Chain A
Amino acid sequence: MADQVIYAMYDDDDVLKDGAKKLVAKGVKVEEVFSPFPIHGIDPIIGVEQTRLGIFAFIYGLIGLTLATIGMRYFMIVDWPMNIGGKPSFSYLENILSFIPISFEFTVLCAAHGMAITYLIANRTLPGMKAQNPDPRTTDDRFVMELRASQNKQFTAEELEALVKETGIVELEQKTI
């Protein structure tokens, strides 16, 4: 389905933020914002929800901790207990102190890598992927707001354009996708 897209370009993050605030107040849906660095405070304005990656990291960490515990219990207690000066070698809990460093390291390893991989997949940023920013300058010093006609049916294309033009843009581009 063909859709009209408006790319409004700004040269300042705060101008874009104020512009987005005004547009959203008027009932315009802002589809996306492309910026060279994180604009703090833009997410609630354009309705981007806080990511749940933190919860994922926690879960990956727990998985790591569990794996380390199961592994070390099997290696050191069940399969091949070591007799060190006749000390008890048949109980995990009584030997837990020497297992703490590796449990910790493995927890961190799983949490960090699990989260990093999830992050890359969730972002669709993987080696060989194509960049999707509408203008190469959005990774330098330009900030682009993307509006879609299909999501703003209450406005005509001209009205939308007029609204956007009031917000201090430096360039405007219309595209049909």
Chain B
Amino acid sequence: MHKEAAIREPLILGHKTYHDITEDVCKPIEDKAPKTWYLLFGIALIIGLYGVGCILYLLGTGVGVWGLNKTIGWAWDITNFVWWVGIGHAGTLISAVLLLFRQKWRMAINRSAEAMTIFAVFMAGLFPLIHMGRLWLGYWVLPLPNQFGSLWVNFNSPLLWDVFAISTYLSVSLVFWYIGLIPDFATIRDRAKKPISKKMYSILSFGWSGRAKHWNRFELVSLVLAGLATPLVFSVHSIVSFDFATSVIPGWHTTIFPPYFVAGAVFSGFAMVQTLLLVMRKAMKLEAYIHTKHVEYMNIVIMVTGSIVGTAYITELFISWYSGVEYEAYAFINRATGPYWWAYWAMMTCNVISPQLMWFRKLRRSLLFTFFISIIVNIGMWFERYVIIVTSIHRDYLPSSWSMHYPSHIDLGVYIGTIGLFFVFFLLFARYFPVLALNEVKTILKSSGESYKNAPDDHHPEPTPAPVEAAPVAEAPVVEEKKEEASPAEETKADDNASTEESEDSGKLNASAQLMSAIGPATEANKDDLKKLSGVGPAFESALNAAGIYTFEQVSKMTKKEYDLMDSITGKFPGKAEKEDWASQAKELMNK
């Protein structure tokens, strides 16, 4: 089983059992949806339908309804496309890259992040399609035999690479997501009471039975798909950046684009995950699974990728001067001081300064602040694309054709509409799909669950933690205290104070009896070499033996209270055992 350091914050808070996890995730699906869900769904649906209306108007009338002109031939359409693709990078990064790095905290967030990815890529894919103007000829992007003398698509073009990259990314993410969903659909199927939902979930779960061989394959498939998806994530946004980087437009043809776009994509993707999950964990009462530590981890990713993005901005600026190319230099001077200066500085503030605030532990652990910053980053990343696209082309080589871009209400409607549609999908997901990867979260319960982690005996394969372990002990108060030991921090503290006072009052004999009842008796016959514990010499060992401590098993059960008892009996090196964390050491030694 996966072992984790005791000092790490548990990933699952509270005293959860396997059944509790199922219950917590399935309840929102089985219960009636709350009124707020209907309200949000209604709002999202109206906005989404308005967007669909705008798209239909656009298809009927032509791309001319967008605020484009002959200088600015690409504006909000491609900005929104890149923005959505970027957002769609976090999910697969979380589930693939973090799986390869064995980051267990991903398990609480990967399902919903992947759902977000898929819906975001849907929205992204919409823009190139409607941008074609004649949507019904969309299949022309595929290399199909045709009547035009067999004229093929151009495989030298990054726009065609994009077609392949985005469609591969979408379909592979979808498969990856669904394969993880199958066992969880089976869980819902086996709990379902209503015949319709039973039927639906049994179709969705493909008859999953959880056989050992199935799980064996499941784990390998997840691993290999993660291995395939990892380079895919990096390739997709690199290829998106080629749309610009392989052109001859000053401000676009920079070699820094691929890594810079990938970092920016992860940056914006994580920001969107934060926006969604901070609300979802509250609304669906998943605070025990997605808590401050997860938010902090994600904020660290935001900070790192935000710093990469910031470095890239500054590098770009420096190179435009250092290259000595006047056109390049002008493009950047124009960005910062030209008519679009506000967009440039909005981008700089949102993307360079705001992630740096995450260096403060207090701020990155504050949920409200995180939510605020995540919105700021989402806005900033939209401006980044707008700055790159519009400000680079609005003043081209010929000053007589210089122009400005003013979005039409259709531009706005399509963009807002995709946000609405995205939330329609996401709300449906949150309502009908297990939002937590049940089967994965259950595998980390014993290594990262709070009750298992703090229990003094987590090496024992006991179904329930501390309380059961303490059951055989005769004295009732000890049982009580054991239970308290594994509960939230403040209570433990209070309890510790009480027990210290208690042990001071009682005599040595009483202390010895208490110690034995807590850690269990042992004899010299099966004694371990206690000298292996740090700070124990032969003299100390015999003192411990005299106190009745012979085995690592006994030591491993010790908590603060037992340490104090032991110190009061042996009278040597008070506090040593606690400082060195003998219990963990003993656990290690026992398992050798």
Residue of B nearest to A76 (CB): B155
Residue of B nearest to A15 (CB): B461
Residue of B nearest to A146 (CB): B211
A116 and B175 contacting across the interface, CB-CB below 8 Å: yes
Q: Contacts A12-B461, A36-B187 hold; do A120 and B206 have CB atoms under 8 A apart?
A: yes
Task: Select which of B22, B216, B220 is within 8 A of A141 by beta carbon.
Answer: B22
Q: Contacts A53-B224, A108-B228 hold; do A38 and B190 have CB atoms under 8 A apart?
A: no
Instruction: Flag whether B440 is at the interface (Cβ < 8 A).
Output: yes
Instruction: Flag whether B347 is at the interface (Cβ < 8 A).
Output: no
Instruction: Flag whether B164 is at the interface (Cβ < 8 A).
Output: yes
Residue of B nearest to A14 (CB): B461
**In the bound complex, CA of A14 to CA of B464 (Å):** 12
A9 to chain B, nearest CB (A): 12
Residue of A nearest to B227 (CB): A57
Interface residues in chain B, defined as those with a beta carbon under 8 Å from any beta carbon in chain A: 1-2, 17-19, 22, 143, 150-156, 158, 160-161, 164-165, 168, 171-172, 175-176, 179, 182-183, 186-187, 189-191, 202-203, 205-221, 224-225, 228-229, 231-232, 235, 239, 242, 438-440, 442-443, 446, 461-463
Q: List 19 A-B contacts (CB under 8 A).
A: A32-B212, A35-B210, A37-B215, A43-B212, A53-B221, A54-B224, A72-B155, A80-B150, A101-B158, A101-B235, A105-B161, A108-B229, A112-B176, A115-B221, A125-B206, A127-B206, A132-B209, A133-B186, A139-B189
A12 contacts across to B, CB distance below 8 A: 461-463
B143 and A75 contacting across the interface, CB-CB below 8 Å: yes
Residue of B nearest to A79 (CB): B150
- The residue among A99, A115, A125, A141 with the most chain B CB atoms within 10 A of its own CB is A125
Instruction: Flag whether A93 is at the interface (Cβ < 8 A).
Output: no
B439 and A38 contacting across the interface, CB-CB below 8 Å: yes
A56 to chain B, nearest CB (A): 9
A38 and B206 contacting across the interface, CB-CB below 8 Å: no
Compute the total of residue contacts between A and B using a CB distance below 8 Å.
206
Residue of A nearest to B23 (CB): A140
**In the bound complex, CA of A106 to CA of B446 (Å):** 40
B158 contacts across to A, CB distance below 8 A: 101
A101 and B239 contacting across the interface, CB-CB below 8 Å: yes
- The residue among A35, A101, A104, A129 with the most chain B CB atoms within 10 A of its own CB is A101
A15 and B154 contacting across the interface, CB-CB below 8 Å: no
Task: Select which of B152, B208, B220, B463 is within 8 A of A79 by beta carbon.
Answer: B152
B439 and A124 contacting across the interface, CB-CB below 8 Å: no
B179 and A119 contacting across the interface, CB-CB below 8 Å: yes
Please classify how large the interface on chain A is, using the bins under 10, 10 to 19, 20 to 34, 35 or more. 35 or more
Q: Which of A122-177 contact B (CB under 8 A)?
A: 122-133, 136-141
Q: Contacts A116-B225, A139-B187 hold; do A130 and B207 have CB atoms under 8 A apart?
A: yes
B175 and A112 contacting across the interface, CB-CB below 8 Å: yes
B152 and A80 contacting across the interface, CB-CB below 8 Å: yes
**In the bound complex, CA of A34 to CA of B71 (Å):** 64
Instruction: Flag whether A28 is at the interface (Cβ < 8 A).
Output: no
B217 contacts across to A, CB distance below 8 A: 51, 53, 119, 122-123
Instruction: Flag whether A24 is at the interface (Cβ < 8 A).
Output: no
A98 and B156 contacting across the interface, CB-CB below 8 Å: yes
B168 and A108 contacting across the interface, CB-CB below 8 Å: yes
Residue of A nearest to B218 (CB): A38
- The residue among B151, B172, B438 with the most chain A CB atoms within 10 A of its own CB is B172
Task: Select which of B151, B189, B225, B229 is within 8 A of A131 by beta carbon.
Answer: B189
Residue of A nearest to B19 (CB): A141
Instruction: Flag whether A18 is at the interface (Cβ < 8 A).
Output: yes
Q: Contacts A120-B206, A140-B22 hold; do A51 and B156 have CB atoms under 8 A apart?
A: no
A33 and B442 contacting across the interface, CB-CB below 8 Å: no
A139 and B212 contacting across the interface, CB-CB below 8 Å: no
Task: Select which of B1, B150, B209, B210 is within 8 A of A40 by beta carbon.
Answer: B1
Instruction: Flag whether A46 is at the interface (Cβ < 8 A).
Output: yes
**In the bound complex, CA of A170 to CA of B446 (Å):** 20
Q: Contacts A79-B150, A116-B221 hold; do A105 and B168 have CB atoms under 8 A apart?
A: yes
Instruction: Flag whether A70 is at the interface (Cβ < 8 A).
Output: no
Kindly list 9 other residue pairs between chains A and B, CB separation below 8 angstroms, not including A132-B211, A139-B208. Answer: A15-B463, A36-B210, A36-B438, A37-B215, A43-B212, A53-B221, A95-B156, A112-B228, A131-B209
Instruction: Flag whether A23 is at the interface (Cβ < 8 A).
Output: no
A38 and B155 contacting across the interface, CB-CB below 8 Å: no
**In the bound complex, CA of A51 to CA of B154 (Å):** 40
**In the bound complex, CA of A47 to CA of B340 (Å):** 67
A109 and B212 contacting across the interface, CB-CB below 8 Å: no
Q: Contacts A126-B207, A131-B207, A140-B191 hold; do A33 and B171 have CB atoms under 8 A apart?
A: no
B235 contacts across to A, CB distance below 8 A: 101, 104-105
